[in-house]
Structure 1
């Protein structure tokens, strides 16, 4: 093929790229090269350019498509130097991607920012205690009797005591210095109940802040808070028809320091009375800092001047209910934890560290893990101010992360019709979903692909999601499977059949044993497989609390991910910092297409402690979701699967289920979970109540169906129609496999276990 390279590099990058391109192509201008080259040669050029790329690098590659047309193949470096077809602009205006124009649909973006930032300034004030400070300085590995977030919550409760409206407690923070002069906070804390917090009387926004403070490391134990043991027993009865619903009012009315959530019973037994008392006393209290008070004053004023926030407060007060909108709670907690992780991971000499010089510098927030002896890394005052600043910045980036991450555009293997007879149903599916594209943006999408095994569902699913995507923006989706081997097979299929490169596809799977088995099974393709799956990390380790360093916020944000060749330099303005410091999390967040085992993405809804849910949640927020073979999961896994689908709906994600053997109850249950989530998303984006676009696919083009469903009855009616046609079609097909039950007479006892398993194994082999 004949290709043309265009360089828009600046500074030293210009010399480096010229040196590389001169070795492969003829220079036909100062910054233009042309040559005939093979696919492998072009891949080598791209890899060399990427290895030498800096912020000043910008090289595009164009291929001669016909006698009259060229097409953009790729861009290495700064993509802003070219438009979507590779044309260099002759005039330009600078666009500020952090501008509020990105937030037109995000009615509550500023509300999330204000509450998350106030919570960030308060989240660790409980670290001021003598007990916690002694633990950091002396390097004790003994757990706290009461965790610092619980003490922070107690302090917040005492400060706003007596405030009946949100305006009152926000005004109290504006004049906090005067309030502290007339109140002895340490005496109030010593006389208060240590084991309970009375959140229910708090105003709505204060309840929201309280929730964020106490959950910023660990979510509360749901069974103890929301479902008493009697209710759980009733729910487990086979004849049970009882529906038990819980909201945050239930949590707020009974918030206790449950064991192993914010209270450590072992430490309570081992510590002396003096040691226990130290965790409720202060030598210095960080809220007395004038710099800290200035920041909390500023954000309290912003809260009072935020119309959307005041409206939320008024509506909750009128209904006498807590703020229990999962969209607000999930994203505000996400922002707080990202800010905490980001700032906790900064090195001491980082230019973004906040310089604070006051008497509160003695209070430590965390210590350096790499030092042989305990060394204070960040003072508590600096940490609170820094986390507040980072949280505020990340909140502004949320709309951009949701809408502007890397996508797959102009990819012919997905857009072109297939000529293979048994895959031609994909062409009809592509056409149908392309016509639904506009409606799915407003109402969401829930698809069901029940094509038979071997009919090409894997590629068909990718084509369906590609058709649903905005052509100007491109496609971005995640394929989650239950089995690791299937994940590797899907990655191999995408690499070979769809010609997806390393910067377009990331494979997420763990376990070197699976890698080895897959290589042995496909020995003649080892080089391709190694190229896809790269190298593996250690299996997931227990999420143990870091007790002696003062911070759980510097852990890796992802367990195991395969490296790929993802370009992320264009997104430095988002200031994602330590969220993408690890190449693992970087690949998960930035890859246009991700194929993974479901455990990687399900962390978004199942992670109860730590920050390992952050990268999966950002992925779910910014990409569509394909659940491949969801019926393979055990019945006990279905609640978790439902939570994942609900979260997908909550974040505006389009969902496609794919399996030849989906049962009506599974599909209907997941649709209901998606529908409830989508309602909350539309509400947060000022969109109308959703009529979810539903579509059904199989290898019969005439049987494909699409409907907009506003409730379960609509969905069940359409699903039944589709299933009847499918059953009629399958009844006419020849029987491919017929099972036969073979006899096996060996009995198992503890004494003959080895002999039993030997007999069983031989029978299976035979």
Structure 2
């Protein structure tokens, strides 16, 4: 590089070299670093590409000042000061209850394993309430002897109504929300008041008095709260909920930070203990009065920092690449949509909800990123893409990396949770094993991340010091993850993990891909994130080609409730927000959404116009694959699949060069893993002479699944009508040449992992139905890239699914929206008794092509899906938006009853080891060691025509090349006994025992 000035250098450099330079600068950057990089665009124009370190030394376009002046800081919004004051006061009182004889005894005697009958934060609440009422220290403690005083609920039915209600909530909930833990969301004391052990008055007297200074400070800080009140005209319940959420997060962060410090000192009352250096036993640590004072001061600062958090955003260079116009006509709609959003952003700074209804294969992932950049305006670009499937995180991250040339110094991927849910049998249990400390804080999850070093403020450092993988999660301008990490932001009962997730959400727009792939309970958990994004004034971009009306309405309602809370904090009575409806067929529609009814009308009208625009397509032609009625229904089902496969191959096969043979690549979508493996084996045996069969699902070796996905990605990326890359593939050529039959079928039997996010183009598909959404999504993997006009069917839909064949009462479930209470064939709900038969559920006379119209038009199947979805969302949406049970947001059951993942599932991690060429299965225990369980695994003989299978040596070589950790591990889920057997097929993967429900 040539030196061009005192502190300036100029050099030609490649993009890759520039990214490496920036990464190196970031790794060595300190708080004093300020380096700007410019690109010479000619004509005396230098364009700012990025800044490493402090950007305050440069103007918005990279200008460096000759001199500086200081401008008066804008006034801090009152609610931020109030949140800080509230957290500060709560910190001074949060652990007053630790002065009890019971708690101090537990600290001093490590042999005491029994939990307290009153949690210390509940005691803190009751003591402070008595002190506020004028009682002295001793009298306040004596009030605990009276049961109504001891167990009385602190809030009325209306929820938080004043600042002292908010203060009480912070104190009592800083380690956990109110009970119950599941079931009815009626607020109760059971999480804080225990019947076992029974209450002993002698245990709940003060071990010693708090120093006078500590109590004086508490009273002083309580008096400072007296003037805090909601602005005139706003809903008090919304105001206090929003303020409490932010202040509580500040208190939790402060309590965790202070409690982690070693501050041993002689005192009568202590707050906690710490381990000796050899970790053999605990020592008394922080004096209680010092702990209260330290947490108080830090909690106020934490609440302020959380509310004002602004982390580094995407570099201007990266934003420019994302926003580049596309010349491909298939993606031209993206240019129009991005331009419309940029235009509207110049007019209005209101937060936006974007619904992206573009069809499958039209670049929704790319457009979502464009939306985030277009809506940023003058704000730095930061967004988190949340996905439902773990396999899609790295795939989406790599798409951003390769398509937009985003470096790993600006992009992070969370690719999984290290802490698998396993059976308690795997580890010895004790009353305190499930907790990390004497405060009974639950252990926090660890995550695997891919990304570089990222800047975070010094005050965040203590929280990630022992969790270095959290740095990219919080600091990266672009985060790609499963929604599992972010979901904790909307789950206040998860304490520290909740507060850390908020650090991401408060300063990041939110992208929700394939939002309707969640079941209703999981969708409620996702809607909590949408509500929080509205509270923090962030944009939400949601995409799906099959965004059903109930889901769209729920998104709008949740976002509106978050905006309403933000408006209450700002003293505004309106909750308007910007809304954009975009797709690949119609011009973008951007408007200010003022009323729920207006949004619903606009969305309905948009869908109607979209359906008209879809008419006339001939890319995907469906037909009904009927099931013959014979005595053995399972055999009939499998035979129907075999016949449909032959028919679809005949209609869609193409000539393979230099062979005179006809070849096709087909997908058979099966809802669950075990039936998928059985179907794959049946097809392999049935067509042993002319088919190559693979099975793709989640319960496979990590490295084998990687190889399957990589091979399918390569073969089924078909951007041009010819098939030259397939015909030149050595493995495909060899399999075609060695087959004697003039027809060769390559069949992938796959579970729903194929139907979302996989950018594959099959010649045909046969679909086991679970829902209209899954049918449309699976169909999107057919003729996806080539978009050839078809006259014969290339998609078959089975007349009934496997659960119906098995004579289950509820058949469209796991996956699907049918429930025991709302069955699709139940006349009590006005439904036809043929409601499990696709011959009735779809209006075949109207279905000339398979597109999103199947989900949106008036088919009985779509109508049943919509009705069930709306019914299951109705009550939780009322609670989320505080239209019912206004105290429910403070109750653990509100969140536990609507989790993202089914908590009943046991997730087991297994690995296939090799010793002297002898393979052995081992299972991972909760203690992270491995135990041999080889007798539990039933090995199945591999079929001769299995496709997408490799030797162990081949897999080992690939794993070594890609530096893959634990390549021979797999994860299986079970609802039954952890020691039940599973079956293993070297080609087709693992499945649960046949006596377990799929």
Fold in common (TM above 0.5): yes
* 2:175 is the counterpart of 1:217: yes
Partners of 1:116 and 1:333 within 8 A in 2: yes
Alignment partners' CA distance in 1, 2:478 and 2:207: 53
Partners of 2:49 and 2:315 within 8 A in 1: no
Partner of 2:136: 180
TM-superposition CA deviations, 1:603-639 (whole Å, max 9, x none): 1113523311112222222222111101111123232
Structure 1 unmatched runs, 5+: 1-24, 162-171, 173-178, 229-250, 350-356, 512-536, 749-753
SS of the residue 1:282 aligns to: coil
Partner of 1:143: 115
SS of the residue 1:550 aligns to: coil
Partner of 1:152: 124
Partners of 1:141 and 1:548 within 8 A in 2: no
Stretch moving more, 213-222 or 489-498: 213-222
Alignment partners' CA distance in 2, 1:387 and 1:540: 33
* 2:93 is the counterpart of 1:119: no
Task: Note the 1:567-716 alignment, pairs <5 A.
Answer: 567-568=454-455, 571-572=457-458, 575-581=459-465, 582-687=467-572, 689-700=574-585, 702-716=586-600
Partner of 1:461: 368
Task: Note the 1:713-732 alignment, pairs <5 A.
Answer: 713-732=597-616
TM-superposition CA deviations, 1:42-78 (whole Å, max 9, x none): 3333333333333333333322222522222333333
Partner of 1:169: none
SS of the residue 1:221 aligns to: coil
Match of 1:435 among 327, 343, 361: 343
Partner of 1:483: 389
TM-superposition CA deviations, 1:198-248 (whole Å, max 9, x none): 5258983322222111111111236779646xxxxxxxxxxxxxxxxxxxx
TM-superposition CA deviations, 1:411-442 (whole Å, max 9, x none): 21122211111111110001111122155533
* 2:438 is the counterpart of 1:550: yes
TM-superposition CA deviations, 1:650-706 (whole Å, max 9, x none): 222222220001111111122112112212211212345133322111112x43222
Partner of 1:164: none
Partner of 1:285: 209
Query: How far did 1:35 drift?
Result: 2.4
Structure with higher helix content:
1
Partner of 1:562: 449
Query: How far did 1:340 drift?
Result: 0.9
Query: How far did 1:124 drift?
Result: 0.8
Partners of 2:50 and 2:316 within 8 A in 1: no
Match of 1:263 among 182, 189, 193: 193
Partner of 2:969: none
Distance 1:712 1:204, change over 3 A: closer
Structure 2 unmatched runs, 5+: 425-431, 636-672, 684-692, 694-746, 748-998
Distance 1:694 1:458, change over 3 A: same
Alignment partners' CA distance in 1, 2:324 and 2:603: 29
Distance 1:83 1:468, change over 3 A: same
Task: Note the 1:502-581 alignment, pairs <5 A.
Answer: 502-510=408-416, 537-539=418-420, 549-551=437-439, 556=444, 559-568=446-455, 571-572=457-458, 575-581=459-465
Distance 1:84 1:555, change over 3 A: farther
Alignment partners' CA distance in 2, 1:554 and 1:91: 52
SS of the residue 1:73 aligns to: strand
SS of the residue 2:272 aligns to: strand
Partner of 1:343: 258
Stretch moving more, 577-586 or 147-156: 577-586
Partners of 2:454 and 2:471 within 8 A in 1: no
Distance 1:496 1:623, change over 3 A: same
Alignment partners' CA distance in 2, 1:648 and 1:641: 11
Q: What is the number of residues matched between the two proteins?
A: 630
Partner of 1:19: none
TM-superposition CA deviations, 1:444-484 (whole Å, max 9, x none): 322211111110111111111211112x3332222111111
Partners of 1:480 and 1:596 within 8 A in 2: yes
* 2:151 is the counterpart of 1:196: yes
Partners of 2:414 and 2:447 within 8 A in 1: yes
Alignment partners' CA distance in 1, 2:254 and 2:403: 41
Partners of 2:337 and 2:587 within 8 A in 1: no
Query: How far did 1:146 drift?
Result: 1.9
Alignment partners' CA distance in 1, 2:250 and 2:121: 17
Partner of 2:7: 31
Alignment partners' CA distance in 2, 1:722 and 1:215: 44
Partner of 2:166: 208
Stretch moving more, 32-41 or 210-219: 32-41
SS of the residue 2:64 aligns to: coil
RMSD over aligned CA atoms reads 3.3
* 2:280 is the counterpart of 1:372: yes
Partner of 1:528: none
Partners of 1:631 and 1:662 within 8 A in 2: yes
Partners of 1:123 and 1:216 within 8 A in 2: yes
Distance 1:310 1:718, change over 3 A: closer
Alignment partners' CA distance in 1, 2:34 and 2:155: 56
Task: Note the 1:3-152 alignment, pairs <5 A.
Answer: 25-94=1-70, 101=74, 103=76, 106-139=77-110, 140-152=112-124
Query: How far did 1:396 drift?
Result: 2.3
SS of the residue 1:475 aligns to: coil
Query: How far did 1:541 drift?
Result: 8.1
Structure with higher strand content:
2
Alignment partners' CA distance in 2, 1:456 and 1:548: 45
TM-score normalised by the chain length of structure 1: 0.75
